[in-house]
Amino acid sequence: MIFLQVLIALIIGLFIYVTLAAVIRRFWMGPPAEPDPETLEKVNLEYRCDVCGSQVTMTVAPQGEVLDAPRHCKEDMILVTPIN
């Protein structure tokens, strides 16, 4: 009887360990790859957070890509400077 209880406890413990290891493994994400400097172009874009007023100046961006506004205070920031 005790052998059966120990076996069941080991099986339950192994199940919990495997499940938690899988959950923790999903949270790990490596940093994004560094962009190639040859594919970047100089820009001068200023964004402002409508909630708190913080400002961000973007000085380089990937060539030819339409950029999404950065997010701050869980909201998209507003473009202050006109796009040339």
Is 24 in the same domain as 45?
no
Q: What confidence tier does 83 reach under pLDDT thresholds 50, 70, 90?
A: low
Within-domain flag for 84: no
Is 44 in the same domain as 73?
yes
Beta bridge partners of 71: 76
Is 8 in the same domain as 42?
no
**42 in Cβ contact with 20 (< 8 Å):** no
Within-domain flag for 23: yes
Mean pLDDT of the chain: 88
Question: pLDDT tens, 44-67?
Answer: 889 999 999 899 998 888 887 767
Is 74 in the same domain as 43?
yes
Is 46 in the same domain as 73?
yes
* Rounded Cα gap, residues 36 and 62, in angstroms: 9
Domain that holds residue 74: 37-79
Within-domain flag for 53: yes
pTM of the model: 0.54
Within-domain flag for 21: yes
Within-domain flag for 16: yes
CB proximity list for 75: less than 8 A, separation 6 or greater: 49, 50, 51
Distances, alpha carbon 82 to alpha carbons 12, 24, 62, 72, 79, in Å: 61, 44, 18, 20, 7
